[in-house]
Amino acid sequence: MLNKILLGITISISCMAISMQAQTQGEMNADAGKAYNKADKELNAVYKKLVAKLSDAEKSALKTQQRNWIKIKESDCKKEADEYEGGSMAPMILYNCLEEKTIQRTKELRAMLTGR
């Protein structure tokens, strides 16, 4: 009985938290864009730190690798968002994908920076 009461309270609190965060699709799109921009700024900061520690040959290789990564990231995320083309959530899908891939790439760049 106590478990059912606690479960009910937990569900009620969760529902209240979700409803307090309710937004319009436009707001969710804007928030997703902001989150992506934040992730992109972080990636650029880590990239600059890494480039500063590389030899000329390593810099050249990293720049080529980064350009290729950007092309793939943008292509993959466009494909993902295209599934929602014409829908109001397409921008959010695009930005969420870009953010996720950017965060992953930042982790990869940080790993390259470690020990340099």
Q: Residues 22-38: pLDDT tens digits?
A: 689 999 999 999 999 99
Q: Domain for residue 7, yes or no? A: no
Q: Domain for residue 8, yes or no? A: no
Q: pLDDT category, 116, cuts 50, 70, 90?
A: confident
Contacts of 113 (CB under 8 A, 6+ apart): 46, 49, 50, 53
* pTM summary value: 0.79
Give the number of domains in the chain.
Answer: 1
Q: Residues 73-92: pLDDT tens digits?
A: 999 999 999 999 999 999 99
Q: Domain for residue 19, yes or no? A: no
Q: Domain for residue 56, yes or no? A: yes
CA 113 to CA 41: how far, in whole Å? 17
Q: Domain for residue 77, yes or no? A: yes
Q: Domain for residue 10, yes or no? A: no
Tell me, what CATH number does 77's domain have?
1.20.1270.180
Q: How would you class 58 by CB atoms within 10 Å of its CB: exposed for 0-12, middle for 13-18, buried for 19 or more?
A: middle
In which domain, by residue range, is 37 found?
A: 24-113
